[in-house]
Amino acid sequence: MKNFKDKVAVITGAGSGIGRALAQELASAGAKLALSDINEAGLKETADLLGLGEDRLMTRKLDVADRQAFYDFADDVVNHFGYANMIFNNAGVALGATVEDMNYDDFEWLMNINFWGVVYGTKAFLPYLKQAGEGHIINISSIFGLVGIPTQSAYNAAKFAVRGFTESLRIELEMENSPVSCTSVHPGGIKTNIAKAARMDKSVERITGGDKEKAIQDFEKLFRTTPAEAASTILKGVRGNKRRVLIGSDAVAVDTMQRLLPTSYQKLVAMGQKYMNKK
C-alpha cells in the first residue's frame, strides 16, 4: 500500500502513544480514520488534535478483549465509511511479575488484551479488507516478542504469540494471492505511559533488587524512541510491505543479539540484570 489518501485506517489504542501518532501521520497523509480506545478522555484528546469532520473520522470506546464489541466496531466502521483498508492492532498493557508469583487474573487480563485483542481485530476486519480490494493488517508485537525477559513472562507470551500469529497469517495470505498483507511490528523502548500504567507484582522487587517504583523508573530509562518516530517507521514498513518492522536502535540490537546468540543471550540478560541490581 503505497498511498494512504482516502484509505480507511482503523487504530486501536488511539488515545495516546503510538496510536495517537499513527492517527496524526495518517490524517496528514489524507486517510480516513476509525479510532478506538478504552480511555474515552484520551480518545477525545486525539480527536480534538486531528480536527477532522465525520467524513474522515469516527471514534469509539472499545475494550479489545471483548470479541463481540470488536466485531460490532468493525461493522460500524464499514457502515460509516463504506469500506476499510487497514487495521492497526496497537492497544496493549504491561505486567511485571515472576512466573511463580503471577496470579491468573493478571495473566489472563494481559493475554486478553495483548493477544486476543489482536486476534479479534484481525479476524473481524480481514473479510472487510479483502472486500475493499486492498488491505493491510499491522500487529504490534515488541522486542519482547523476540527475546525472553525476567518478570515479563506474560508480556513475552503475548508478544511471541502475536509474532507467530502474524507471520503465519502473512504466509497464508501470500499463498492465496490475497489483496491483503500484514506486518509484525517490534518496537523497542517507546516514550509512552505503558510502564506507569503497568500492573506490578511485589515479586519484581526480588528480581530487580529494588522497589516497584524504581523498577518502573529503570525501565523508562530505556525508552529512546518517540511515538512520532515509531509511527513514521511503521508506516514506512506498510508502504514497503515489510514482513517485520523493528523500531529503534535498541530493537535492532536485540534482534541482532537473538540471531547471533539464539539461546545463550539468556545468560547475557541475567548478567545484565545482576549488574543493574548492584548499581
Virtual torsion, Cα 95, 100, 103, 108, nearest 10 deg: 60
Residue 264, number of CB atoms within 10 A of its CB: 9
* Separation of alpha carbons 65 and 73, rounded Å: 13
**Known catalytic residue at 120:** no
Report strand pairing: 135-140 vs 95-96.
Answer: unpaired
* Separation of alpha carbons 14 and 34, rounded Å: 9
Q: Which SS3 state, helix, strand or coil, does residue 218 take?
A: helix
User: What is the number of alpha carbons within 13 Å of residue 177 lying toward its C-beta?
Assistant: 0
Q: Which SS3 state, helix, strand or coil, does residue 102 take?
A: coil
Report strand pairing: 135-140 vs 199-200.
Answer: unpaired
For 16, list phi and psi in degrees, rounded to 5: -170, 175
In the numeric block, the cell 547471533 is attached to 260
Which has the closest alpha carbon to 137: 169, 161, 103, 115? 169
Catalytic residue (choose from 120, 128, 155, 265): 155
CA 40 to chain centre: 19
Residue 195, number of CB atoms within 10 A of its CB: 18
CA triplet 163, 167, 171: central angle to 5 degrees?
Answer: 170
Residues with catalytic annotation? 155
